[in-house]
Amino acid sequence: MRYAERAGVHTMSHEPELFTDHDAALAFLNSRINYERARPGVNGGEREFKLDRMHALMKALGDPHLQIPTVHIAGSKGKGSVCLMLSSCLQACGYTTGLFTSPHLIDERERICLSGTPVNEPAFDRALAVCRDASATIEGDHGAVTYFEMLTAAAFVIFAEEAVDVAILETGMGGRLDSTNVCSPTVVGLTEIHLEHTDVLGDTVEQIAAEKAGIIKQGVPVIVVPQEESVLTVFREKAASLGAPLKVLGEDVSYSYRFQATATRGPHPRVCVGELPDGYEHLSVPLYGQHQAGNCGLALAILLELAKLGFDLPEPRVTAGLEQTPMDGRLEMVHSAPRIVIDGAHTPESIQETLRAAGAHLDYDSLVVVFGCNRDKRVVEMLEMLERGADKVIFTRASTTPRAMAPEDLRALYVERKLAGMVQHEPTAKDAINNAARAVGPHDLILVLGSFYLAGEVKSLLLAAQTKPEPAGR
């Protein structure tokens, strides 16, 4: 029985006509307007971020987003890490989870996970077909459903049909007008706010914070990581206007962390959140970097809110869940000889933290950074961070996004700013990795930075090389 039939609400009156195969489903999805990859200025007149269309699509689908408990996370950096840790802890405690994140590294299905595993192709394709049929009924009045809206809707359909115990949603961009913001959350989490997407969200951290605060809902508890007082003021004012209880880690909820070095993990943070006997004490942060302490603290504080609602979340199982958190795209080792690590860091602050974490956790002699980024980022500040941590930088670009800055322009900007260090550029990610591999010795490290798209492309190239069949006759 489908979710809408169980809930007694409107649903499509027939099963959808399925796509002929998975490639056809992806072709349909990629035919939609995709602002993640669009070249700046393209479809500018159509770039209207509003929720009317998403609400109409949800209604046509039978409101699957209202059938499941939801945790909603927004912020400039760290929100994906919070979502991963939350999902892993809940799974370890015996709950089925739906996880919606973006972007993906290799496969679109990575964005929609059921208890830590990307949804299988038949379920993904069927959900897209359901959303395609529903979208056809509302596009005349509301315009074409976008790539991200279609994926968000498909996630809601899958999570409702699987009757997950809790869905964890990461906003794509912003919050107030993000397509995930049609949800009715049980708990809201807000991570650090930095300047990002200034052409859409605003050119001050306060304006950006106001957009992120748009996911706060009437009476719903909000947990926030420590950050600039001006940002916290925006969050507090928004929460107060909606009667939403807001807690800041370290102020309104007990939070502390310290570093501890072990033989297996080296130096890493351990966090305490909440008060005993209900809180969590000295839990190891599973992801590399000091900045992940706050993200882990936020995840644990959200678990404490869920525990108040009846979720059984004992510390031993939560600890086990943290240890099982996947590191996809977060200082993830994707090749061992030479050692190649990928990271999706794409702001100056996250690049700084990633370089620090690499130095603390990954022993190496020289560091070669393969770097590419989108042209709408804070490029100069990112380059300044690279100068401080890299012995050599090879500029390149991801082939999958027209927004990527040309490698030769990155190199020219680096030289123009009189930044120190060896720099080169290569036209493709494959060329850049091959160049880097020739430059390193057994004790050196190659670090891919600047874009999830570049990180994903490098990972895909290396996976393809590992699975390439042996030539005939060998």
Residue 438 CB: number of other CB atoms within 10 A?
8
pLDDT of residue 7: 42
Q: Which residue has the higher pLDDT, 386 or 42?
A: 386
Q: Quick one: 97 and 181 in the same domain?
A: yes
CATH of the domain at 146: 3.40.1190.10
Residue 262 token pair: 């072990």
Q: Quick one: 304 and 353 in the same domain?
A: no
Task: Read off the pLDDT of residues 54-105 as tens digits, 9 standing for 90 and up.
Answer: 999 999 999 999 999 999 999 998 999 999 999 999 999 999 999 999 999 9
Q: Quick one: 453 and 341 in the same domain?
A: yes
Residue 416 CB: number of other CB atoms within 10 A?
10
Which residue range forms the structural domain that includes residue 43? 3-196+203-323
ω into residue 269 within 30 of 0, thus cis? no
Task: Indicate the average pLDDT of the chain.
Answer: 91
Q: In the listed set 323, 350, 370, which residue is the last one of a domain according to the structure?
A: 323
The Cα–Cα gap between 115 and 108 comes to 17
The Cα–Cα gap between 455 and 474 comes to 32
Residue 265 CB: number of other CB atoms within 10 A?
13
| The 166-170 sheet, strands edge to edge | 117-118, 112-114, 97-100, 166-170, 70-74, 187-190, 222-224, 246-248
Q: Quick one: 276 and 152 in the same domain?
A: yes
Q: In the listed set 268, 298, 323, which residue is the last one of a domain according to the structure?
A: 323
In a domain, 474, yes or no: no
Q: In the listed set 323, 343, 362, which residue is the last one of a domain according to the structure?
A: 323
Residue 107 CB: number of other CB atoms within 10 A?
13
Residue 325 CB: number of other CB atoms within 10 A?
23
pLDDT of residue 473 exceeding 70: no
Q: Quick one: 278 and 379 in the same domain?
A: no
pLDDT of residue 198: 59
CATH of the domain at 351: 3.90.190.20
Q: Which residue type does 244 have?
A: A
Residue entry with tokens 């993200």: 295
Phi, psi of 429 (to 5 degrees): -60, -40
What is the number of structural domains in the chain? Answer: 2
370 burial via Cβ count (<10 Å: 0-12, 13-18, 19+): buried
pLDDT of residue 50: 79
Question: Which residues, listed in sequence order, are joined to residue 156 by a DSSP beta bridge?
Answer: none
Q: Quick one: 119 and 32 in the same domain?
A: yes
Q: Which residue type does 64 have?
A: P
Q: Quick one: 313 and 370 in the same domain?
A: no
The Cα–Cα gap between 466 and 474 comes to 16
**Is the sign of the CA dihedral 172, 174, 175, 177 positive or negative?**
negative
**CB proximity list for 24: less than 8 A, separation 6 or greater:** none
pLDDT of residue 5: 46
pLDDT of residue 202: 76
The whole-number average pLDDT for the span 404-430 is 96
Q: Quick one: 438 and 401 in the same domain?
A: yes
Can you state the angle between helices 147-161 and 121-136, rounded to 10 degrees? Answer: 120
Confidence of residue 37 (pLDDT cuts 50, 70, 90): confident
Q: How many residues belong to the chain? A: 474
Task: Read off the pLDDT of residues 153-200 as tens digits, 9 standing for 90 and up.
Answer: 999 999 999 999 999 999 998 899 999 999 999 999 999 998 776 567
State whether residue 257 is helix, strand or coil.
strand
